[in-house]
């Protein structure tokens, strides 16, 4: 289960990095603040669970810098995939937890599914916009 928690931490960090890149492309970066607050809360949850299980902290993985030419559509696709992966991992880990930690994991799962759906819709809209232009 520790390996799944590490994957959740890595996926959360990757999603946050992609969202920050996408926010930099947008004129109004404020629309992303709610997402960033949620990602921070999720990261803290999984860091805490990791610490409880191993007694050790989790070091941030090296952030992979996407190419500067990465476009909005590609970032939205990647965010959709990261949130979907996060949901699958939360489902896996939730089955092994109990109590408040399980409820928190279930909440993260639901949020990841919502964000995955939203990012997918945004990617579809962006693809249509690119096709029309």
In the CATH hierarchy, which top-level class contains the domain 1-56+71-132?
Answer: mainly alpha
Q: What is the pLDDT along the chain (133 residues), one digit of tens a residue?
A: 889 999 999 999 999 999 999 888 887 766 788 999 999 999 999 988 888 888 766 665 434 444 444 788 999 999 999 999 999 999 999 999 899 989 999 999 999 999 999 999 999 999 998 888 7
Sequence spans of domains, the chain: 1-56+71-132
The pLDDT of residue 9 is 92
25: nearest Cα among 77, 83, 76: 76
Report how far residue 96's alpha carbon sits from residue 94's, in angstroms, rounded to the nearest whole number.
5
The pLDDT of residue 11 is 93
In the numeric block, the tokens 């996060």 are attached to: 86
Cα dist from 71 to 16, 89, 117, 118, 125, whole Å: 16, 27, 19, 18, 14
């Amino acid at each position: 289960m520790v390996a799944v928690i590490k994957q959740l931490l890595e996926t959360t960090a990757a999603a946050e990095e992609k969202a920050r890149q996408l926010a930099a492309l947008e004129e109004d970066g404020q629309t992303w603040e709610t997402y960033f607050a949620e990602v921070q809360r999720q990261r803290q949850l999984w860091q805490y669970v990791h610490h409880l299980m191993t007694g050790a902290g989790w070091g941030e993985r090296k952030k992979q810098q996407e190419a500067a030419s990465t476009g909005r559509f590609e970032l939205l696709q990647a965010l959709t995939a990261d949130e979907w992966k996060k949901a699958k991992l939360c489902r896996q880990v939730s089955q092994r937890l109990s109590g408040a930690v399980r409820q928190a994991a279930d909440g993260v799962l639901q949020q990841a599914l919502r964000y995955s759906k939203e990012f997918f819709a945004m990617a579809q809209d962006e693809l249509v916009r690119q096709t029309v232009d």
